[in-house]
Amino acid sequence: MKIEHYLKKLEKAEDFKKFKKEDSKSYLCSVFFVRDFKDKHNETHIDFYSPKTKKIVSFKADGKIERIPIDKKAETIAHKKFIPPTLTKEIILEIEKIRPIVLDEMHNRGLTDDIQKILVILQNLDDRDVWNCTCFLNGMGLLQTHVEDKSESVLFMEKRSLFDMIKFLGNSGQDNNASGKDEAVGKK
């Protein structure tokens, strides 16, 4: 489904009309998707940046349009404030085309896993609209991928194990036992 479909639906909703009346300078900054191919649980959120409040306001766009009650600070992972760029409304790709594009690139790279679930953030990065995807693969694998909207090409792809993301707490690398095993793993 094209982004335009969600935006037209959003523009008709009373919650959104009220928001735009209160904050007319707000603008589209991102769209967030969850597509679960195993359990068939899908979500779509449309995000607007408010220069007035310096926060991101999100609307759930599946079924009835609802404003998400918690506005998010516009900041990076390192908690640095930023102003998100405007996402163009002329998005070429549909969310349903992302999985086949990623699967095709995976097969070109010799990866045979299947995508069970995909989290996607459509945003403007370096003056181009990019689908930033995190794919959950069978076998506890993760795949990070960036797909450029205009060219429909994969800009970046990296496969990881879910275990790469888990940090085990230990005794700061000190080995206190003769067997060479760290007994503190998993302990705080």
Q: Is the pTM of this model over 0.75?
A: yes
More confident residue, 141 or 174: 141
d(CA 75, CA 85): 13
Tokens of 123: 């945003």
**pLDDT given at position 76:** 65
Burial class (CB in 10 A: 0-12, 13-18, 19+), 71: middle
Q: What is residue 75's predicted lDDT score, i.e. its pLDDT?
A: 66
Q: Furthest-apart CA pair in the chain: how many Å?
A: 69
Which of 42-46, 61-65, 72-76 is least confident?
72-76
Q: Which two tokens stand for residue 16?
A: 């959104």
Q: Which two tokens stand for residue 121?
A: 């953030």
In single-letter form, the type of residue at position 35 comes to R
pLDDT at 62: 86
Query: How high does pLDDT run on average in the chain?
Result: 85
**Sign of torsion, CA 136 101 121 130?**
positive
Domain boundaries, the chain: 3-165
CA distance 103 to 111: 9
More reliable by pLDDT, 69 or 172: 69
Residue 145's H or E segment, with its range, is strand 141-148
DSSP letters spanning 21-81: HH-TT-EEEEEEEEEETTT--EEEEEEEEETTTTEEEEEE-SSS-EE-SSPEE-B-TT--B
Residue 1: pLDDT band (50, 70, 90) is confident
In this structure, are residues 66 and 60 in contact, taking their beta carbons and an 8 Å threshold? yes
